[in-house]
Amino acid sequence: MRSFLPVLLLIVCLCDLNAQTQDSLYNFQAKGNPLITHKFTADPAALVVGDTLWLFTGHDSSRDGRGYNMKDWCVFSTTDMVHWTEYPTPLKITDFTWDRSGNAYAGHATYRNGKYYWYISTNGSGIGVAVSDRPEGPYKDALGKPLLTRQDCFASTHGWACIDPAVFLDDDGVAWLFWGNGQCYYARLKDNMIEIDGEIRQVKFDDFVFEEAPWIHKRKGNYYLTYATGFPEKTAYAMSKNIEGPYTYKGILNEVAGHSNTNHQAVVEFKGKWYFVYHNGAIQRNGGSYNRSVCIDRLYYNRDGSLKRVVMTTEGLW
């Protein structure tokens, strides 16, 4: 009788590979969407520094496909959108000793005053901030305590209200943080980037059905707030002439992404082109809502500054 042991061992190894942290550089070439196929990645945040685009992601490793198992975050870079490098694991949920959830939810990194600040969420313990001298890390907890907790989300009662930080550095030098689940909050950051400056406020406007995943970007004097709406999630957007609003709802930007109940985007300009970075659950057979994969497609504007709906493609940019 043939033994199934080798097959079983292979399956166990593959599962472990996905759960493992990265301990060396890993180079790969983009071949379409999903962009990243050697592990499950989610909640992308992009940052351009000089001629390099840095991609910060979450890392899914659900064993049963029924819930999140996210123990660390990942960082990737490219200079041409084709050749990519993944760096050793830069940040783990256990680096935040105050976290009780064990889940490394969405984050967003930025650069200021010679340092990189990575705002991250946990599942219920709050939003933290980690700091590093280099984009690829390693990062360490900058505060030893959460930057924000559910108590700061004054209009919310559920445990996971304080998630999904999005940082935005405006042209006038003011840094802003947006975040939330169910309700969208925002506040200024102090120049040191690790303290909230002043009051926490809520984003409110007509037809704003906010689930999570806020992201702010600016182009030609217009502020764009993109965010996940409904469930399963689509991406919607609103525009304003002022970071604090009033925002005007502009409609759906991206439809439900294949085989994933969440939809978490980054919008970025790199070398004169705009990109929409998101995740889906579309790695065939074993991808899904808790084993997601980062994808990239182009983003285009209409003449009046509004956004054309994203066309999600299998081919991607390549």
Task: Summarize as ranges the residues that interact with ligand FUB (CB under 6 A).
Answer: 42-43, 58, 68, 105-106, 121, 163-164, 212-213, 262, 264
Q: Which is nearer to ligand FUB, 210 or 247 (CB)?
A: 210
Q: How far is the CB of 294 from ligand FUB (least distance, A)?
A: 11
Q: Coil, strand, or helix at residue 307?
A: strand
Q: Which is nearer to ligand FUB, 21 or 192 (CB)?
A: 21
Q: Which is nearer to ligand FUB, 112 or 252 (CB)?
A: 252
Q: Coil, strand, or helix at residue 187?
A: strand
Q: Coil, strand, or helix at residue 270?
A: strand
How many residues appear in the chain? Answer: 318
Query: For the CA atoms of the chain, what is the radius of gyration?
Result: 19
Q: Coil, strand, or helix at residue 70?
A: coil
Q: How far is the CB of 163 from ligand FUB (least distance, A)?
A: 5
Q: How far is the CB of 82 from ligand FUB (least distance, A)?
A: 26
How many CB atoms lie under 10 A from the CB of residue 4? 9
Q: How far is the CB of 290 from ligand FUB (least distance, A)?
A: 9
Q: Which is nearer to ligand FUB, 182 or 316 (CB)?
A: 182
For 151, phi and psi rounded to 5 degrees? -60, -30
Q: H-helix or E-strand containing 18?
A: helix 5-19
Q: Which is nearer to ligand FUB, 110 or 121 (CB)?
A: 121
Q: How far is the CB of 274 from ligand FUB (least distance, A)?
A: 21
Residues whose CB is less than 8 angstroms from the CB of residue 142 and which lie 6 or more positions away in sequence, other chains included: 117, 128, 129, 130, 131, 194
